[in-house]
Structure 1
């Protein structure tokens, strides 16, 4: 049997960040990371399209929590201890410089997730942390003053046990067997499958829009991207995160309303169209988009309003004007299913947050058991926020157990 002071289950971002911070705070501790796969940090490798979206340039903890559909209340305290600014400083101290993109997302200057992976591997080597792969956990049980972990390879014993196993159903089940409550997981970040003639020939077209799920209070605004299978982009992804539970209950069959003008309503839109009719009477309606979105989308919405391609502005009837303004501000679409957003599969669900002490990240149910990262019922919208949750939890955990 191998004995350690601290065993960390899971060789992902949260597991490594925990291990390194514990070892740096107390080099005397004997630490091991157990990973069930052949490789470690696989999710880090593919994150942000292979560039690794490390964090987000939102430096106010009270603003930062607003990006978490689940975990907003619980993360407020932790973010006052360790937030985005601290993440930047930590990586700089470990030789990795980060840069801010226009939308606030932060990446390594190298634009490669390999930089983050090498930083972690180098630090674990320097701190003499054992990284053991192909160690699939079979059982966990409590000894007198320690925890025992059996894997497919060997037996381990430790004083303190950290679960950083992400959205692994097997680990949730195991923890349930030890007395924890698990909030049923459902997908969070996903795109909407929509078959509709208005968008059929528009893949790649993007517009700033606001979207709401019909019959609910869920709405979001931002860039909306039309794809081969339907709709994606920040406006849709935000909606999928905030509405994760409701949309799962609806079995991903629901209606949405899209306002292509983002903030204007149908009345304002109609007034704008009337002004154009007066100022450009001889021009064909379809010829050029008068709004800040691509011509191809404008053509499609004009056609959907029953306006022939040769019709001039001067010849538009009141009914056609109203129909077009409704199409611009209240386009109704039926969603029929979802698709995973890239390879970055995020779930809503996990360890019930009421059973965790967020000052230490220790379980309130099991003594000397700690949690880090996505194993908890915390998730965020896209943009580096899920990683920030991992860094923050891991730092607080490390400080409390070292």
Structure 2
């Protein structure tokens, strides 16, 4: 009888694991099960429908630093299959990637359909049997070969010698119960990569205004990140905020997603340098309107709102700017407070931190230490990265290593 391997989950990690396994050992029967009717749904929507495949950072130790959880593990795993391997993998299959100025890598076609088509076509060519609308209710482990019996949502069962679980992340703990029944420990699943709600933000009507670099920190905490920042009608978003939420996922959960966030709109300047530049403006352009002449290349609408909040009179010129208003403006430039109350899921990039405890895996194989023959990859394990292609890279890496290990005859 042909040996059967089952992959549970039709996302990035599941497809990569199934393809690698089938290509490495064509004698195996590889079945991929997806409980919904949609395959690769996160690949489709990520990066605004362009699919941020990986990040142009080719030093594994540096790449691994972009993961709030799983850094140590990825330092070990990325040399086995890292960003350069991902680029080569897609290019040998006819998909060229391009690098954006911020390091994110996308298909040259600028559409996620290219990545989806490549994965689907490669899986079919490798002989992977893809079944949609089929969930797994339970996994029974036996001492006799084949080792696993999968009870499916359709009422059927499948016998398999090896299983790869690549079901993605879910912030509901009950979604992991079937894995806990197998004896695995689940690190509490919590949302990561979310935006911040600021219900009483005085910047609400500036939605869409962005700065290329800002720093955001939480008062009373060490948490601080920087990057592009976007003002939204519900609060704050953009890469700086998504990084903030990734590094602060557990902290923000513990604080019930409340606190005061301080935004520094001029992170490349010290407070003294900001003061010096305002004084220089007084001397060099005394007759110019404060309101109408933004400094630090800030968007004019943002500058004017900061002036309003600092109580700078709209008609005042630099020569006549009151000292009190100037001090308040400096304070707001380097520390604008935002009263955070809650979060909003950033649909495209939504990630869950937590999942299968890494200590329970033989990492180089992504195989369970408790149940040999059971493998895990993707967001279902306790690895998550910041936004920018890092979560997909973790999926490709884990899927590849699990697929290789499953293809071996052990």
State TM-score, norm by structure 2. Answer: 0.95
Match of 1:190 in 2: 194
In structure 1, how many angstroms separate the alpha carbons of the residues matched to 2:279 and 2:227? 27
Alignment of 1:205-244 (within 5 A): 205-207=209-211, 208-244=213-249
Write the deviation string for residues 266-304 of structure 1: whole angstroms up to 9, x where unpaired. 222112111111221122211110212111111111111
Where does the alignment leave 5 or more consecutive residues of structure 2 unmatched? Answer: none
- Secondary structure of 1:167 counterpart: coil
Alignment of 1:1-400 (within 5 A): 4-145=3-144, 146-153=147-154, 154-168=156-170, 169=172, 171-196=175-200, 198-207=202-211, 208-400=213-405
Does structure 1 retain, via aligned residues, the 8 Å contact 2:7–2:14?
A: yes
In structure 1, how many angstroms separate the alpha carbons of the residues matched to 2:51 and 2:27? 31
Shift of 1:265: 2.9
Does structure 1 retain, via aligned residues, the 8 Å contact 2:216–2:262?
A: yes
- Secondary structure of 1:354 counterpart: helix
Write the deviation string for residues 373-399 of structure 1: whole angstroms up to 9, x where unpaired. 110011111111111001111111122
Shift of 1:196: 4.1
Shift of 1:320: 2.2
- Secondary structure of 1:7 counterpart: strand
Shift of 1:344: 2.7
In structure 2, how many angstroms separate the alpha carbons of the residues matched to 1:200 and 1:171? 36
Does structure 1 retain, via aligned residues, the 8 Å contact 2:169–2:353?
A: no
In structure 2, how many angstroms separate the alpha carbons of the residues matched to 1:53 and 1:227? 22
Does structure 2 retain, via aligned residues, the 8 Å contact 1:211–1:221?
A: yes
Does structure 1 retain, via aligned residues, the 8 Å contact 2:201–2:338?
A: no
Does structure 1 retain, via aligned residues, the 8 Å contact 2:12–2:392?
A: yes
In structure 2, how many angstroms separate the alpha carbons of the residues matched to 1:163 and 1:35? 11
Alignment coverage as a number of residue pairs = 401
In structure 1, how many angstroms separate the alpha carbons of the residues matched to 2:327 and 2:34? 60
In structure 2, how many angstroms separate the alpha carbons of the residues matched to 1:198 and 1:260? 15
In structure 2, how many angstroms separate the alpha carbons of the residues matched to 1:164 and 1:25? 19
Which runs of structure 1 show a deviation greater than 3 angstroms over 4 or more consecutive aligned residues? 168-171, 195-198
Shift of 1:307: 1.2
Does structure 1 retain, via aligned residues, the 8 Å contact 2:95–2:107?
A: yes
Shift of 1:4: 4.6
- Secondary structure of 1:287 counterpart: coil
In structure 2, how many angstroms separate the alpha carbons of the residues matched to 1:180 and 1:210? 39
Where does the alignment leave 5 or more consecutive residues of structure 1 unmatched? Answer: none
In structure 1, how many angstroms separate the alpha carbons of the residues matched to 2:303 and 2:199? 18
In structure 2, how many angstroms separate the alpha carbons of the residues matched to 1:150 and 1:4? 18
- Secondary structure of 1:201 counterpart: helix
